Amino acid sequence: MPREEYFSQALYTVDIGQNDLTQWSFANTTAEDFVPRIIELFTGVIKGIYEAGGRYFWIHNTGPLGCLTSTLARTEATRGGGGGLDSVGCAITYNELAQQFNRMLNETVVKLRRDLPLATLTYVDIYSVKYLLISQAEEYGFEDTFKACCGYGGGAYNYDPTKTCGYTADINGTQVLLTKACENPSKRILWDGMHYSEAANRWIAERIATGEFSDPPSSPCSISIGRGSQSS
């Protein structure tokens, strides 16, 4: 266990939004109902850590929800033409929801800086980093932008919410793995339709480390990220 004095020296990283927003949005509730509640819970967590002695916070906003395979495969925005999709191919409604949440999160961080004068809160624009990668996937060496590497069903998305990565089925008395990794995971952005691949996460981490997507901006830091094929 870390020594007690380390608690005030630690960096607390908060990556928030994706699971909360997708869960509530697919439950057919309005953003006005659930976004303020998520922000309220977030505020309580940060203040609780601060009161216990935490001082350093690195807060990630949420990524472009409308670019996730799971969103695209489930939303009606992909049917009847591309009216519900932007020029990149992401669902506009869900990206607008993510942007609305991020605006409120940013405003909350600004307020927390006033309320918690001894804290250092850095806001990291994960949305912009991930959208940059998705919108210029081929330029950065990726392919099949919206297709899940570890999924089921083939087609444009290779995604079935009932047969997620690692799904097995009984075929003639034998358990057979139906959803396994694609041949070249290092070329894919989305791992299982909901999470980014290790290769994509490495690319994202390298951009974040430059400090240019942070508020306040920070100096570039040196990071060493191992290479592999699975998601993180």
Is 115 within the bounds of a domain?
A: yes
Count of helix runs (H) and strand runs (E) in the chain? 6, 6
Q: Closest by alpha carbon to 62, among 23, 103, 27, 91?
A: 103
pTM, two decimal places: 0.87
The domain of 14 spans 4-136+194-215
Which tokens go with 47?
Answer: 């203040």
**Number of structural domains found in the chain:** 1
Residue 11 counted as domain residue: yes
Note whether residue 182 is domain-resident: no
Regions of the chain with pLDDT less than 70? 25-29, 76-83, 219-232
pLDDT score at 83? 54
- Taking the C-alpha atoms of residue 93 and residue 83, their distance in angstroms, rounded to an integer, is 11
**CA-CA distance, 135 to 112, in Å (whole number)?**
33
Q: Is residue 180 part of a domain?
A: no
Read off the amino acid at residue 14: V
Return the SS3 of 98: helix
Burial (Cβ within 10 Å: 0-12, 13-18, ≥19) of residue 186: middle
Asked if residue 109 belongs to a domain, the reply is yes
Please tell me the predicted confidence (pLDDT) of residue 222.
45
Long-range contacts of 35-43 (CB under 8 A, 24+ apart): 35/97, 35/100, 35/101, 35/104, 36/104, 38/101, 39/101, 39/104, 39/105, 39/108, 42/14, 42/16, 42/105, 42/108, 43/108, 43/112
Residue 164 domain flag: no
Report yes or no on 74 lying in a domain: yes
183 burial (CB, 10 Å; 0-12 / 13-18 / 19+) is exposed
Q: Is residue 226 part of a domain?
A: no
- DSSP state, 145? T
